[in-house]
Amino acid sequence: MTRLLLPLLLGAFVLLAGGRLIAHHSFAAEFDASKPVTLKGTITKVEWTNPHTWFYIDVEEGGKVVNWAVEGGAPNVLYREGWRPTSLKAGDKVTITGSRAKDGSRTANATLVQMPDGKCLFAGTSGPGGTATDNCTVGRR
Amino acid sequence: MRSTVLLTSLLTFALCLLPSDGSSAQWHGYPTPGIPRLADGSVNLAAPAPKTHDGKPDLSGIWLSGRAVFDLRQALEPGDSVPFTPDGKKIFDERRADNSKDDPSARCLPTGLPVRALLRTPMKIVQVPNLTVILYESRTTFRQILTDGRPLPKVIDWPAWQGFSIGRWDGDTFVVETAGFNGLAWLDQAGYPATTALKLTERFRRRDFGHIDLEMIIDDPKMYTRPWSIFAELVYQPDTELLEFICEENNRDLPHMVGK
């Protein structure tokens, strides 16, 4: 199943990567769609702010706990996708998939957030009508 | 006994005033009154377009582009291309080469009017006598389109990010002409340039209750060899409201925007 899911997920990334730009700034100026990242850990802080939401997450890297900053979509867009300011809270254990920043810092752009209950939320503003499907890949409305 | 009945009545009355499920406190999600609906309660997008007292189509309502576009090339007619002048091509290529890292929009400065109609955030058109206003959710910005019969200013003594807009009716199409731009806003995120010579014409046609066909004609002889058009379909958004969008609140991207 995992072997099937990974190419699917990568496929979704590649689909989105073509001309992928997000609402407030150029995606490609900051992030590299060809460098996907999966961050599994504990949310430490949530900023429900414009022009983008930011999630901070502690993950284990090589036996050490490090903190990543993850950019999500604009709160307005996420709100209409079903998010609320309290959807994600410090202490939540989640898995975030997205793209790494080009500058090599522990910064990423989120595509999907798998919530503590296993459900996925589409976290980006990339492309029109992106939405999380039942199997935690990105689909189209 | 009487006081118990009175108390119960008062309590019942008080409970009736409280929202039962929080729905009366909703902003996004509160049912838009007075719009045509189908039997299942959803908006009837195919109903006739409403008209104002003077018999013109009423464009008022909340609208969202049927698809988000960040590169205007995606909104050209099939087969068309952007007719750059050499200067226009040079600027555009430079912006593409570093992935639009210098876009003023990324600094929370205004987006160009063409792309602002095509974002994933809606806009509200308010049409009143002598004036049509567009309230954009994006960046909590607004535009005034004056329809009191005045011409565009002959002399632009203070060029503006959004220019100056007048509107008139051409049959059932609302035609907005805008000039007096300061030339600083990019037309979209890809980086199509514009100068102070830009004249923008927008043609809004509400073809039914739920849809506006929008053509935007970009005329800037310094950057383009001929006027060129992009097209969008705006879709009526029921049961929602504009949400606040204060771009300057927490703009953390700039230090990471390396470009290449």
State the complex-level ipTM: 0.80
pLDDT in the model for residue A25: 82
Q: What is the CATH number of the domain that holds A71?
A: 2.40.50.140
pLDDT over 80 at B23, yes or no: no
Residue B21 lies in a domain: no
- Can you name the residues that pair with B154 across neighbouring β-strands? none
Tell me the residue length of chain B.
260
| A76 vs A70: CA distance, rounded Å | 17
Residue B22 lies in a domain: no
Quick check: B97 contacting A, CB < 8 Å?
no
pLDDT, tens digit (0-9, with 9 covering 90-100), for B150-183 = 999 999 999 999 999 999 999 999 999 999 999 9
pLDDT over 50 at B196, yes or no: yes
| A95 vs A101: CA distance, rounded Å | 18
What angle is formed at CA B191 by the lines to CA B97 and CA B196, rounded to 5 degrees? 130
> Min CA distance, B139 vs chain A (Å)?
8
B67–A129 C-beta distance less than 8 A: yes
- Can you name the residues that pair with A94 across neighbouring β-strands? A41
As for how many domains chain B has, the answer is 1
Cα–Cα nearest to B36, from B208, B245, B186: B208
A19–B121 C-beta distance less than 8 A: no
Q: Which residues of B227-242 are buried (b: 16+ CB within 10 A; e: fewer)?
A: ebebebebbbbbebeb
pLDDT in the model for residue A123: 82
Q: For A26, name the nearest residue in chain B, comparing CA atoms only.
A: B100
pLDDT, tens digit (0-9, with 9 covering 90-100), for B46-79 = 999 999 999 999 999 999 999 988 899 999 999 9
Residue B175 lies in a domain: yes
Find the CB nearest B101 among A29, A69, A107: A29
The DSSP-derived string for B36-72 is -B-TTSSB-TTSPPPB-TTSSB---EEEEESS--SSG
SS3 state at B241 = coil
> Min CA distance, B59 vs chain A (Å)?
23
- Both tokens of B84, joined, read 């750059």
Residue A136 lies in a domain: no
Residue B44 lies in a domain: no
Cα–Cα nearest to A42, from A62, A54, A58: A58
- How many pairs of residues across A and B have Cβ atoms under 8 Å apart? 106
More confident call, A28 vs B137? B137
Query: Any alpha helices (H) in B98-213, and if so which ranges?
Result: 113-116
Q: What confidence category does residue B12 fall into, taking pLDDT thresholds of 50, 70 and 90? A: very low
Mean pLDDT by 10 residues, chain A (141 residues): 43 38 74 92 96 96 96 90 90 94 93 87 58 61 39
As for how many domains chain A has, the answer is 1
pLDDT over 50 at B227, yes or no: yes
pLDDT over 60 at B204, yes or no: yes
- Can you name the residues that pair with B169 across neighbouring β-strands? B174
Residue A138 lies in a domain: no
pLDDT in the model for residue B124: 98
Residue B104 lies in a domain: yes
Residue A132 lies in a domain: no
- Say which residues have a Cβ less than 8 Å from residue A6's Cβ, sequence separation at least 6: none
pLDDT, tens digit (0-9, with 9 covering 90-100), for B83-96 = 999 999 999 999 99
Count of C-beta atoms within a 10 Å radius of residue B72:
22
Q: CB–CB of A123/A77 below 8 Å?
A: no
What is the average pLDDT value for chain B, to the nearest integer? 91
> Min CA distance, A42 vs chain B (Å)?
21
| B199 vs B164: CA distance, rounded Å | 10
Cα–Cα nearest to A44, from A71, A62, A67: A67
pLDDT in the model for residue B13: 45
Residue B249 lies in a domain: yes
Residue B13 lies in a domain: no
Task: Burial-class residue B41 by CB neighbours within 10 Å (0-12, 13-18, 19+).
Answer: exposed
A71–B252 C-beta distance less than 8 A: yes
User: H/E element holding A4?
Assistant: helix A2-17
Find the CB nearest B251 among A23, A29, A51: A51
Quick check: B2 contacting A, CB < 8 Å?
no
Full-model pTM = 0.85
pLDDT over 60 at B11, yes or no: no
Domain boundaries, position A96: 2-127
- Say which residues have a Cβ less than 8 Å from residue B172's Cβ, sequence separation at least 6: B56, B57, B205, B206
Q: CB–CB of B83/B89 below 8 Å?
A: no
More confident call, A65 vs B20? A65
Residue B132 lies in a domain: yes
Domain boundaries, position B192: 61-256
